[in-house]
Amino acid sequence: MSQAATQEKPLAAKVALVTGASRGIGLAVAKSLASMGAKISVCARDRQRLDVAAADLERSGACVLALPADVSHTAEIAPLVEKTERSLGPIEILVNNAGIGVFGPIQDASEANWDAVLDTNLKSVFLLSRAVAPGMISRRAGHIVNISSLAGRNAFAGGGIYCASKWGLLGLTECMAEDLRPFGIRVSAVCPGSVATDFSPHSTKDPKKMLQPEDVAHAASMSLTQAPQSFISEVLLRPTQKP
């Protein structure tokens, strides 16, 4: 491949797995990586939404594989990784984006709320990263990007469970980076503020002043194009105007 082609498609032929990719940030990340030449495996729980997202990616010329999966369930991790690698090749990029939020006073929260948020936002990252790490280690290359949140650094009323999941995710990310960097594997976190998606209601905020999914996708993509001797460990992403 020529130098010009490499610069135009810096992720050409690389395989990326993006979770929670049927809409919002995940879909924007998948589109960005595909535009950089990557072959994309997208997963989400909602098969119908995922099929629509995959069709959207295919129309843009992406090489895409859509695999419905709930990444908070251990039994669904190995098949997701195996099907991706059998169809597209070894996973070189993992973007852990799947996430949910339950908000409200901690005294009103249920154990089921806690389990759902922590399993999706934190446990799934552990399960998938653990599943792809051996292959990355054997190839001595790879990149894992965890989509976290400024809620992993800033507390707010009603955010107890969500903040706990994102604080935990940042701790996990930093430790994974230390465990895996000797093998040439880079682990990064992208921490956006409020993003204009249907993830949670923002009735008091102006969507035009909020971050857009494409802003988060740009930050994630940027971290993948670092020179081999360095990596961006964390990105804090805020809008230029307070919404």
| Number of neighbouring beta carbons within 10 Å of residue 178 | 9
Task: Report the residue count for the chain.
Answer: 243
Query: Is the distance from CB of 97 to CB of 25 less than 8 angstroms?
Result: yes
Is 206 annotated in the active site? no
Task: Choose, from 64, 77, 145, 162, the residue flagged as catalytic.
Answer: 162
With the C-alpha atoms ordered 88, 91, 92, 94, is the resulting torsion angle positive or negative?
Answer: positive
Alpha helix (H) residue ranges in the chain: 3-8, 24-35, 47-59, 77-87, 111-118, 124-139, 160-180, 213-223
**How close are the terminal C-alpha atoms of the chain, in Å?**
44
Q: What positions carry a catalytic annotation?
A: 162
